[in-house]
Structure 1
Amino acid sequence: MGIGTAAAQSRISDDVVKIGVLTDLSGVYSDLAGNGSVIAARLAVEEMGGKVLGKPVEVVSADHQNKPDIAANLARSWYDQDKVDVIVDMPTSSTALAVMEIARQKNKMTLLSSAGATAVLGEKCSPTNVQWTFNTYALAAGTARALVKEGKKSWYFITADYTFGQSLEKDASEVVLANGGQVLGNSRHPFPGNDFSAFLLKAQSSKADVIALANAGSDTINAVKQAREYGISNKQTIAPLLTYLSDVHSMGLAKAQGMYLTESFYWDQDDQARAWSRKFFEKAKKMPTSAQAGVYSAVLNYLKAIQAAGTDNAPAVIAQLKSMTINDAVIRNGKLRDDGALVHDMLLLQVKKPAESKQPWDYYHVKAVMQGKDVYPAPNPACALVRK
């Protein structure tokens, strides 16, 4: 190999790989993502020795305040002025979609850990984006199928009125109907929300078997707590469709017990997950959510892909990721599709009763490990990257 070829294959732009964690540091999603996502990214960098191809790796972070315009402005500044190579995390799908478009224009990468709307895999798909940790269909498929199979066939949705919530409701509704269930109605609540009483009472009056919460973070926590206070959950099943470990911690097992949920990661699922989670706990003083763990996995494999490709050029890194099978402490049996979906195993979990919990953060029974092919949606032909 000639010197010129070797240099071309070991090219790191600006002699540094810079990773931007764009997250919610102050709002409704700060507990499930926030500073924990920054810690997770830094753990991945530490695992790689702080360098890739002999060049330093830096992590920067910012608060997008769950606002697409702020996220877009931060992303533009990071890419143009600060020479950030990849932006990760991005809770709220609306912020992710805004940043994805800027990244696409500038041939830069985005790795979504806590943005789950399937819209990012449809007509909004980008050749430099990966939806790393979950999407709304995969979440809905596990939980909805399990409950319908138990005979809970009539559903009512309480939904956050923005991209993510609407996507979650749509995907869950499709799964319910496909498995012989029915949807009796829905209520849309402002994002973020505090008082869910009117929506819960309407759901109660529907007499649906399941009241499904198509929201996340403090919205989910508040809705579950209020449902328990009103005694609604004694007769109807409350099913949060995106529930993080931090949510159950805030609710307490007494209020959350018995709930089914689908996650990509649980800190106590096996020895490998426990070993990494304890490293996270040492720095964060709490166990990681799946969103935070997903940031670690995304950054770690991004850096591994740079190492293997010999460059941080976005298309080359994406091509390298597509050639890899992702297996680490977080993601299992992951394969990257052309539309940007990282398809991997998911966990069907059930929240323990208080008496069943043997230690702090011991919250779930692992009911099943679901293969990615069984819970991820088929590629959307609206995505221009999908091979026709």
Structure 2
Amino acid sequence: MKSINFFKKRSSTTNIDAGILSDQKIMDTFMLWFGVIFALLPTPAILAIPSELEKGNLLILAVLVFPLFGVFFIRKGFIGRSTYKLIGPTPMFLDPSPGCVGGQVGAKFVLAHGHWLEPPKIRLSCVHIYRTGSGKNSTTHHDVVWQEYVRGWNNPNEGAGDMRFVFDVPSELPVSGQGYKKRGRVDWQVHCDGQVVVKRQSNSGNAVQAYAKDKQEHVVKFERTWTIPVSTGTALTSLDIAAEHLASSRLMKQREAEATAIENIKIGHLAGDLTLESRWGRHFINGLVFFVCGVVFAIAGGFLFREALAGEAMLWLMAPIFFFIGLASLIYSIFYIGRGLDVAIGVSRVRMVRTFFGKALYRREGVLTSPSQITLKLGVTSTTNTGVKTEYYALVVTDGTKTIKIAEAIPGRDAAEALRQIVIEHIQAPLEHELR
């Protein structure tokens, strides 16, 4: 029987003319078999549970966690395979082929079954994949170098299942393959997330019903990823994509950025001033993660200190490291959750008050007369397990040698740019009024 290596990198250049298949089919199969192995692995221990319980060994019940996780993976893999079969394969055809760094990455694909409920969100990512450590201590990293979003477009002349998109790609980005930063490789990935209306089938009970146009149709979630080849070049796509769609897509992206900025920064007006409030607790979940990690490391450090005092001399090296990492994480998490900013921007003046859980700590003032004084500053970056990268920015005003932060923890550069534009329009409003 031919063995299948699920961890081997798929060649993105194989059968490009015949279309590039998505990664979901093989991943769903892997998850299904992984669940089966996980469920069956502790079988000997499960069979020994009755005899162990008679001996009073209650810890043996812990092995039941393995089949529970196994069932979870089996169910997830089975649902994924069922949904994949319901929609069918979706080979992607690049145009230009391969995509170009310094040019465009464009492509189209067609649903084998069903039609789109609305234009899906399509993400193009440049991912640096590399390993650190060796042997059992090796870790695989997936660092997102660059990422962009667009809304896909359906050409009605090509059928309801048609979907196409195009990205402008900066020339300074790396191409697909080995050698980036002298380690690992670079993968370019297209991810599509949307909803597809399909005809109901008797064997599709695992597809979750979300909407029904009539009794013969329902909606399933469409989520697929393709690994594509990208090289250097200036080639542009020849795909027929309506100019109106590109314009509306840019406008929609701008409005989404403005909405994100308003959701995170409370914007108001008071006595002619523009007020910006970065409320404390806005990113409570992120802070909670740091807090939990800090508690775990601090407790582990305390335990190691106790063992070191009991005579384990080598633990004196590890105990301070764990304890102080935990303590630093705890302090940072409390500051991260409790910090806030109250800012007022008037005619040529800016005033900022730093708060902590709503209590004022200190204030700063400065002169603001030019848009060039307002810049973006990158803070922390987070990446989810689905590969979505979020960069958090701060808005900073520079007055000579003085730097005044007027907004912070803004998710995404587009949202930060949208907020910057709001501030610029406010400080330029008096001049425009005089000109009129």
Regarding TM over 0.5, the answer is no
Structure showing the higher strand proportion among its residues:
2
Structure showing the higher helix proportion among its residues:
1
Structure index of larger Rg: 2
TM-score normalised over the length of structure 2: 0.20
Which of 1 and 2 has higher RCO (CA within 8 Å, sep 6+)?
1
TM-score normalised over the length of structure 1: 0.22
